[in-house]
Chain A
Amino acid sequence: MLRLSATTRAILIGLVAFILIFMYVPLLVLILNSFNLSNISSWPIETFSLKWWEFAITYQPIRTALLNSLIVATGSMIIAAFLGTLVAFALKGYDFFGKATVNLLVVLPIALPGVVTGVAFSNTYSNFLSPAGFNIGYFGMIVAHATFCIVMVFNNVFARLKRMNPSLQEASADLGAGLWQTFRLVTFPQFRTSFVAGALLAFALSFDEVVVTIFTAPPGVDTLPLWILKEMSRPNQASVVNVVATVVILISLIPVYISQRLSRAQDEVR
């Protein structure tokens, strides 16, 4: 380990503390304000109350938006988990023409600006699929999300497969296991943790996505982030927005936390 002088240490610790405060205090204020009795966010909070939580739980548009968010995130997670794993296996196991290009194309969507992805999908849906008589609607939003969720699963599974001992699969075949049996009993258990970690990240990524959603959500359909965005223009209900935002934070953070724990546990075993 690099040894630092006491002064340098103090400065670095101070810097880290400052950055963390800067990052998390606004979130904390937002969460606390969700328990504010007042209609609008304020500081300090004068009266704590569960009023806005009760309102949010029973308010139908919020419930619908939550359900939409969960459906979209789950749907794109499943597509991403399936396709991401298949691509990881193809790129790990086989050499073929254009392999590096395929690798790049799979990773690229995460780097594309959401506006571009959104416009591209929106155009494709309304200018090509609709005139062709194919109304993709709700599913289009899931597909659009899946394009940038794939990379989460792909990266995790691919990294794990690269570290996997290739003779394990040979040993399994040697001991009489067919291809599917080898996958089920040997290969999948080897990358299961990475697979779950990647899928959880994909879920979290889709759950709080706004930009692509704006362009691809069918008319009248809101996800939670979309609902927040629209509600912001009506400032007299800011406190209920805080409640919804808190829910979004929790549902996004929990999968990321579990995913991190899984990856760490896996590193410790090996």
Chain B
Amino acid sequence: MSTGFVSLRGVNKYFNEVHAVANLDLDVKAGEFFSMLGPSGSGKTTVLRLIAGFENASSGRVVIESQDVTDLAPFDRPVNTVFQDYALFPHMSIQDNVEYGLRTRKVPKAERAKQALEAIDSVKLSHLSQRLPHQLSGGQRQRIALARALVLRPKVLLLDEPLGALDKQLREEMQVELKRIQREAGITFIFVTHDQEEAMRMSDRIAVFNEGSIEQIGTPQEVYEKPQTKFVASFLGVSNIFDGAAAKEIFGSSTMVNIRPERIKLVPADTKLNTGESGVVGTIIEASYIGATTIYLIQTQSGQRVIATRLNEELPDQINRYETGDRVGAVWKSDHSAVIPT
């Protein structure tokens, strides 16, 4: 029945009265970088903990590599976890931390030292192997947490917002690094994040979580360009959603439609639409120059607001910029708008 390398079937999780995970089905393919994206409290971390075995499902099955692990303890599952707070053992040296999993597997002392040092070397921290965790910076601890999990060559690596505590620059470095490690080791990564840009940048596929359910699973391009729900459309990037009367006025049907701000062009208000174009006329109520782009907030006569983002390809005084109060046409190619089924 299941085809995934990691599969969840009909999984529910209740914390007392709270329905944290609601009847969830999920298939992660072998070797893919799979992200679980959603706001806090959406159930994504709980799903990760169900796969790791830290939580027991209230109902449903968890299958890893065709083995039903639903009732197995964490130490009997072929997965390893990188924790949000890294969870390095404070009383052990870096090397002892990385050796820990080999020690529980009864790898001989000399062999586990060799493997641990290799793993520490692969994250470029050999010179710190005898330090204690509290003597390392956040970024260094993050790398050690990664080395400690990877030294066991798990089939699946679970990552719980591992980059959340790092500053922006370090986070971007680690995103590239993680992606490289995942590609080279060929390990399945299941990555929890609330940062949509991070998920888009790294993932092969993304599951968008909301209130304990998955709203949509797809490649970054699919979830961005063809959001299946209003929540997905608004959670990933900025969206202009038309429904009801506004949709009827523009598209001739009241189906919900989304158009991304960067696809909208601004033209003088009296410009005629070409075939294959849609648009609205409105007044600019705010124009914000933010460096690479300028963001325009436009309000139509009926009160609908539209956001348009224009790339500043030329110097500000060399392009035809619009100002607050200008009446403009906001125009896009009809096939750039995406119908949202629900």
Contacts and interface: CB of A to CB of B under 8 A. Distances in A.
B143 to A, nearest CB: 16
Contacts of B73: 173
Provide the main secondary structure of the chain A interface: helix
Q: Report the contact-size class of chain A (Cβ under 8 Å from the partner).
A: 10 to 19
Interface in A162-177: 165, 167-168, 170-177
A174 B91 contact: no
Given A170-B54, A170-B74, A190-B91, A175 B85 contact: no
A186 B92 CA distance: 9
Interface string B268-286: 0000000000000000000
B127 to A, nearest CB: 23
B70 interface: no
Given A175-B101, A175-B148, A168 B89 contact: yes
A167 B80 CA distance: 13
A235 interface: no
A181 B74 CA distance: 13
A189 interface: yes
A176 B104 contact: yes
Contacts of B87: 165, 167-168, 170-171
B81 A171 contact: yes
B136 to A, nearest CB: 15
B91 A175 contact: no
The 8 closest A-B pairs by CB, nearest first: A175-B101, A171-B87, A176-B104, A167-B87, A173-B74, A177-B104, A174-B81, A189-B91
Interface of B: 52-54, 73-75, 79-81, 83-85, 87-91, 100-101, 103-105, 134, 148-149, 152
Given A167-B84, A174-B53, A175-B100, 17 more contacts: A165-B87, A167-B83, A168-B87, A170-B54, A170-B74, A170-B81, A171-B87, A173-B75, A174-B74, A174-B80, A175-B152, A177-B104, A185-B89, A185-B103, A186-B89, A190-B90, A270-B90
17 contacts: A167-B84, A167-B85, A171-B81, A171-B87, A171-B89, A173-B73, A173-B74, A173-B75, A174-B74, A175-B80, A175-B104, A175-B149, A176-B75, A176-B152, A185-B89, A190-B91, A269-B90
